[in-house]
Amino acid sequence: MKRVITYGTFDLLHYGHINLLRRAKEMGDYLIVALSTDYFNEIDKGKKTYFSYEQRKQLLEAVRYVDLVIPEENWEQKINDMHEYHIDTFVMGDDWKGKFDFLRDEGVDVVYLPRTPEISTTKIKTDIYGKKGLIIGL
């Protein structure tokens, strides 16, 4: 069985996220999503999410491409996750290109997929809140 993993916040789940998850699942048999916790988002990433971790987890678990959702609690856990979950392929959006190449040293294929260009959570938040001057969580 070929195992694939991706990481992210997945707030305001949209078709760009679904495209990423579908393409990641096509690379293997089992897709794990490491979902950033609320604490990790706020403290380490400087992001405030609209939906809580549990709500975002529930949304991801409803997506047919996702087999397992695990918490992402810090930047350093990736090497451990590669071994603990026997990962074959690590997938991220190409806005992270080069940032996780070190995982190749762990025997993992590292793939950066092109993002869906016309959509992002930041764009959604700006479109909704920016018109009122209330840009939240960007």
Among 45, 48, 97, 99, the active-site one is 45
- Six-digit token string for 130: 């920016």
Measured distance between the N- and C-terminal CA atoms of the chain, rounded to whole angstroms? 38
Give the mean model confidence (pLDDT) for residues 49-59: 95
pLDDT of residue 46: 83
DSSP 125-137: HHHHHGGGT----
| Separation between Cα atoms, residue 53 and residue 41, nearest integer Å | 10
The pLDDT, as a whole number, for residue 4 is 98
Please say if 57 is a catalytic residue. no
> Cα–Cα distance between 60 and 18 in angstroms, integer?
9
The pLDDT of 33-50, averaged and rounded, is 91
123 catalytically annotated: no
pLDDT of residue 134: 47
The pLDDT value given to residue 131 = 57
Longest dimension (CA), the chain: 49
